[in-house]
Structure formats: structure tokens, C-alpha cells
Amino acid sequence: MSLVNDLHHKVYVATCESEGRKYGFVLTWVTPASLTRKDPKVILVVSRFNDSARALLRERRCCLHLLAESQLREFFIFGSRHSLREDKFKEFEWRPGSSGPVLGGCAGHGQVAIEEVFETPDRYVLYGTVAQESHGGEAPLILGPALERLGPLERKALEEKMAQDSLRDEKQFLTGGPS
């Protein structure tokens, strides 16, 4: 077992609206940040160089979705496509929400108000309060098994997008690109 490369974690998507455009992306890392249910907090880690993450920072809020086991297509679309190049939402059931589009069929979702932003050289660490939580009752989508369930073409497209994002992040980090 690896301390940092365990692919047995839940898949989350963040959505928001900014400047008249809907954004959505698979989050690299999400964790609860409160000890009680009374005041639920969450920590999200996002790339400093991702357009969807920058939209989320402009708005300081998002809808956080825990994808359901049945949402393999949503995982693929939100993980492999660019929000600035196409409407990722056109294939899915969604409704407007107070913090961003709310995807239908999720294992759960909540509205997140970003309270603090911490900067690292290549990531933003976002600390926020979760409100209006809803649970769909379905089991959550787990990353490792989800990757195995993708077809070869989808897996290749997702791997290519991840490689492009890694190269983008590395280039922007080394050149002191947009923050």
C-alpha cells in the first residue's frame, strides 16, 4: 500500500458559474475539515493553473458533488474535457443552484462557501463551509475501480488530459505563470 498513491478514494466534482459560463471539474483532493456535524467544513485542493479552479476562486463558492457509482460518464466528461472549450453539462441532468450547477443522480452534494485560500507553489488549498447538503443514497464512485471500468478509448482520453494538465501545471509553475 502506498501512502500517497492510493486510488481507493471517492470521486468529487466541483461546479460553479462565473462570467456567464458553467464550469465543472474532477477534484484532485477533498477531505472533511471539521470534527462535528454542527458546522461542516471541507478542504479542497485544486491546481492554480486550471481554468475551472480559477473560476471557483473568482466566485468563492461551488457546488461539491460526490459522484455515485453509476456516474462513470460524468467522471469521464468532467475529468477529460475543458470547460472553456465545450459545455460539459449538455449531456447531463442538472439544475441551477445557489453556488453552481447541481448535477442530478449524485451520491451527495452540498453548497460550499470558500472562506480561506492558501497558496502553495502549484496548488490552492481551499477551506470552506458546506451548506444545503443532500444525500442521494447511492454508493459513491471510487477512483481506482472507476478507472478500471472505463473503456480503452475513454481511459486513453482521460490519461492524455491528465498528462496535458500535468505539463501545463509544470510549465506554469516553472515560468511563474498565472496565479
72-80 and 152-175 helices cross at what angle (nearest 10)?
40
Q: Which domain holds residue 55?
A: 12-175
The more confident residue out of 44 and 80 is 44
The more confident residue out of 97 and 122 is 97
Is 6 among the domain residues? Answer: no
pLDDT greater than 70 at residue 100: yes
Which residues, including other chains, have CB under 8 Å from residue 31's CB and lie 6 or more apart?
Answer: 42, 43
Assess contact for 132 and 98: CB atoms under 8 A. Answer: yes
Is 3 among the domain residues? Answer: no
Write the pLDDT tens digit of every residue in 148-170.
898 999 888 878 877 777 777 67
Is 80 among the domain residues? Answer: yes
Is 112 among the domain residues? Answer: yes
- The domain that contains 150 carries what CATH number? 2.30.110.10
Is 167 among the domain residues? Answer: yes
Question: In Å, how far are 3, 76, 123, 172 from 128, measured between CA atoms?
Answer: 26, 26, 16, 26
Which residues, including other chains, have CB under 8 Å from residue 16's CB and lie 6 or more apart?
Answer: 22, 23, 24, 52, 55, 56, 59, 61, 62, 63, 99, 100, 101
pLDDT greater than 50 at residue 109: yes
Write the pLDDT tens digit of every residue in 112-153.
999 999 998 888 999 999 998 888 888 999 888 888 898 999
Is 159 among the domain residues? Answer: yes
* Structural element, H or E, at residue 13: strand 12-18
Write the pLDDT tens digit of every residue in 49-71.
788 989 999 999 999 999 999 99
Into how many domains does the chain fold? Answer: 1
Is 1 among the domain residues? Answer: no
Q: Tell me the mean pLDDT in the region 64-83.
A: 92
Percentage above 90 pLDDT, the chain: 53
Is 157 among the domain residues? Answer: yes
